[in-house]
Every structure is written in structure tokens, then in C-alpha cells.
Amino acid sequence: MYNTRIHPYFSIHSRLYSKDDLLELGYSLIKEGEEFEMHIGGFILDWIDSSPTILVKTSGSTGTPKDIALKKEQMVNSALATGNYFNLTSKSSVLLCLPATYIAGKMMLVRAMVLGLDIHFVSPTSSPLEFVKRSFDFGAMVPMQVANSLSKLNLIKKLIIGGAPISNSIREELKGVDNSSYETYGMTETITHIAVKPLNNKMAKNTPFTVLPNVEISTDARGCLVINAPNISDEPVITNDVVDIISTKEFYWLGRFDNVINSGGVKVHPEHIEKVISNYMDIPFFVAGIADEDLGEKVVLLVENGVKEDIKQTLDTITDFKKFEKPKSIVVLKEFIRTESGKIQRFKTLSLLKT
């Protein structure tokens, strides 16, 4: 049994809430709130119940999305580490503009309840600051939200950005924003970020990630990051991220070991899209992600010796795609690069686009 503790200064939209108040609020949001508020209400009820764990859906960075159980005590430890690193004190104001369906949004709520913050939430749209007029001490966004909020980012004094690659154009724009913005590194299994890097200073482009206190890093045989953080995870977290460790506390992120496509903060699995398309096409093809200024990566369909217009018409007839799965572009190549056994070599074939 877990006894959830709510900080006496915890407030929502500047109104103080006790544990008893939260029970009523949670049910109210589920019953009467907008969809994003229903998710907030559901998480609040999960947080204050007696279970020592919370079920959280992974984003799919390290494989197929799944539900995992996170210990509430470890989520509290993560909140305390973030509060300490960013100097968040009781009554600091924070903005929640991420969905509470995933760990990033959930942890904004946990930080507020643990640290006694004044949390304000708005609909997690692509332009979350559109109707915001006041300033906040702390907030979190995905890059697409940042790109659509540049003129008002100064309203958030300290902003953490994660969930998808940050384009070079956004990085350049952030250098002119009057706030402190940070790129974060983390995942559901590490209860959001375990490392950060500043984005506003002139040397930001060459700055490595710095891990938070009580986090140890190493690499496995693939050169992928291994995270040992006993305060937030009982076991070491083995990632698919290739890194260059330059000190016990710093590393450079070099890229993904696998081929998951990160489009607008949504993890898209090429194999699933290919399975859908294979019901409609019988010519050689595969799906991959290529760099995109707005989405980080966009889904692209590569076809061997096909007619582009015919393929486009075929894609337009497919109704089985989930959000972000329909290819944004079609690339026709004369010939794919294959192994001796005839298997398509994805990365080598993709390299043909750069020549």
C-alpha cells in the first residue's frame, strides 16, 4: 500500500488542492472535462490511490508501445531531481501543455503535487501558447509546439524540450528567445529526462548532454547508451541510442540504432505501415524516415521501379493508416541495394538519396 503525499502548497490554476479535494476534482474532470482534462483527471485518481505503481504507456522508442508499471516512489524521486536541477520551489508556476496520456505530461503533474507547484493546464495542441497571456516559471513542449510558439516562448522562463528531434532552424531561433530552453534526453523507462543540454547559449550546438545527479552512464557492445539510475529504475536501462560518452556525466547523442521513425513526437513503426501497404501493392517497397524541418522525421515510401502517380492513387485509397502513418512522400528508385540473399538493405538504399 502506498500513501500518496500531496504538498500543502500544491495548486491548480492558483487554487490550493488537498488530497481529498483531488479525489473530487479527478472525478469531475473525467465526467465533465474536455478529452485532455479527462486524462488529467484519470491520472490524478491513479496517483492518489493506494497502489504503489502506475501503469504508463511507452512511446515506442525501444520497440512496440506497451504498458509498463512505474513505482510511484521512483516517480517522486524523478520529480525531486528535476526540481533540484531547475531550482523549482514551492509556489513556482508551471504550464502543462502536453497530453497526460504519456509520461511527460504525467510527470508535470507529479512534479507539481510533490514540489508544491502552481500548475496551469491548456489543451495540448500544436500551438499551446496561442491564448496564453501570463508567464510561467517552468514548462515542457515537443519541438512542433516550440516551432509554433516562438514569438511567445519568453512567457516560459525555463522550458524543457523533448519527445522528438529538434531541427537546426528551431535551434537557431531559440538562441534569440529571452528564456532558458533545454533539450532533454529520456524515455518512459527512465521516468522522463535523465540528461539535459542548454539550447540558448552560443555554444549550444556543440554542447553535450549532462546527466542529472545519481545517474551513471555506459555503453553496450553496440555503442548504445546504458543508464544506471537506482533512484528511478531497479534495473539498468539499455537503450537503442548510439552515443559518444566524453565523461562520467556527459555524452553526445549520435543517432538511433533501430529504424523507428519519430514523426512530430509520435513513434511510427515502418514494419506496421509496410504490412498495411502490402495488402494493396505487390512491387518491391519499404518505408523509412527522412529528416524534416517541422516533424523531425517524415514517413517516406521508397519504391523500386514504380510509377509515382499510380502509387499515390493507391495510397489515397488506403484507410487503414493511423495518424502520422501515411507516407508524406514517394521516392521511386531504379534499383534497391540488396544482400546476397535478396533482402533489401534499408540504410544503404536510403544513402542513395544523398548521392
Average pLDDT over residues 95-103: 95
pLDDT at position 119 is 98
Per-residue pLDDT at 61: 47
Domain ranges of the chain: 11-214, 261-354
> What torsion do the CA atoms of 47, 189, 145, 177 make, to the nearest 10 degrees?
100
CB contact at 8 A, 214 and 172: no
Which grid cell sits at 141?
A: 513542449
Q: What is the pLDDT of residues 231-248, one digit of tens each?
A: 999 999 999 888 899 999
Q: How confident is the model at residue 60, as a pLDDT?
A: 53
Structural domain 11-214, CATH architecture: 3-Layer(aba) Sandwich (3.40)
Contacts of 350 (CB under 8 A, 6+ apart): 288, 290, 302
Mean pLDDT value across residues 284-301:
91
328, containing H or E segment: none
User: To the nearest whole number, what is the mean pLDDT of the chain?
Assistant: 91
| 34 band by pLDDT with thresholds 50, 70 and 90 | very high
Assess whether pLDDT exceeds 80 at residue 82: yes
Q: Is the pLDDT of residue 341 over 60?
A: no
E-state strands within the chain:
11-12, 15-16, 53-57, 67-71, 93-96, 118-121, 136-141, 156-161, 180-187, 192-198, 209-211, 216-219, 224-228, 237-245, 250-256, 261-263, 266-268, 285-292, 296-304, 329-333
- Identical topology for domains 11-214 and 261-354: no
Q: Specify the pLDDT at position 257.
A: 76
**Inter-residue contact 280 to 314 (CB < 8 Å):** yes
C-alpha cell at 32: 465533465
Owner of C-alpha cell 516562448: 153
Residue 222's pLDDT is 86
Burial class of residue 23 (count of CB atoms within 10 Å of its CB; 0-12, 13-18, 19+): middle
The answer, yes or no, to whether residue 291 has pLDDT greater than 60, is: yes
Average the pLDDT over 206-224 and give the result.
Answer: 93
> Which numeric CATH code is attached to 261-354?
3.30.300.30
Contacts of 145 (CB under 8 A, 6+ apart): 97, 125, 126, 127, 128
> Helices 103-115 and 72-85: crossing angle, nearest 10°?
80
User: Of all residues in the chain, what percent carry a pLDDT higher than 70?
Assistant: 95
**Cross-strand partners of 300:** 288, 329
Q: What is the pTM of this model?
A: 0.76
